[in-house]
Amino acid sequence: MFETKPDIAGRTEIETLVNTFYDRIRTDEVLGFIFNEVAQTNWTTHLPKMYAFWETVLFRTGGFTGNPIAAHAKLVSQTPMGRAQFDHWLQLFRSTVDDLFAGERAEHIKSCAADMANVIYARINQVPDPRFDPANVTPEQRARYARYQQPAA
């Protein structure tokens, strides 16, 4: 018998994903203290902000208007925010998605998270964006970037 998981259909699934992810983050031994102690996150406001963020990413609705680069740049002087922290964040995000959902949007949200983790990591640490390291560009990214480079009609 195999179990079939639903895909992410809309706001309801996004809320479930975000709630489950941050339940895990809060008690995570690597990242928990960054929220609980360093940023002293107000979960009552942070969770709805994250519902809006992911709804905006996935469905272009949700009305997210924050500034993720600034929010994470602020943390750099207070706590390590290096590749190890971002890789751990991503691992936790991917496994949370996989525990709950399966399908096209589940795959899409994981790849958006990976792209954004790369951008945020690179910007706040002032290192070159790893997406643009030719050694790491996937065939899918190569095709997508080639389309951007075509002159506008």
Contacting residues toward ligand HEM, per CB under 6 A: 31, 34-35, 39, 41, 46, 49, 53, 66-68, 71-72, 75, 81, 85-86, 89, 113, 116-117, 120
Write down the least CB distance from residue 130 to ligand HEM, Å.
Answer: 13
Write down the least CB distance from residue 1 to ligand HEM, Å.
Answer: 34
Judged by CB, which is closer to ligand HEM: 16, or 123?
Answer: 123
Q: Which amino acid is at 133?
A: D
Q: Which residue is nearest to ligand HEM (CB)?
A: 66
Judged by CB, which is closer to ligand HEM: 72, or 105?
Answer: 72
Write down the least CB distance from residue 41 to ligand HEM, Å.
Answer: 3
Q: With CA atoms as reference, report the closest residue to 12 among 54, 43, 41.
A: 54
Judged by CB, which is closer to ligand HEM: 35, or 151?
Answer: 35
Write down the least CB distance from residue 149 to ligand HEM, Å.
Answer: 26
Judged by CB, which is closer to ligand HEM: 19, or 85?
Answer: 85
Write down the least CB distance from residue 63 to ligand HEM, Å.
Answer: 12
Provide CB contacts within 8 A for 37, sequence distance 6+.
none
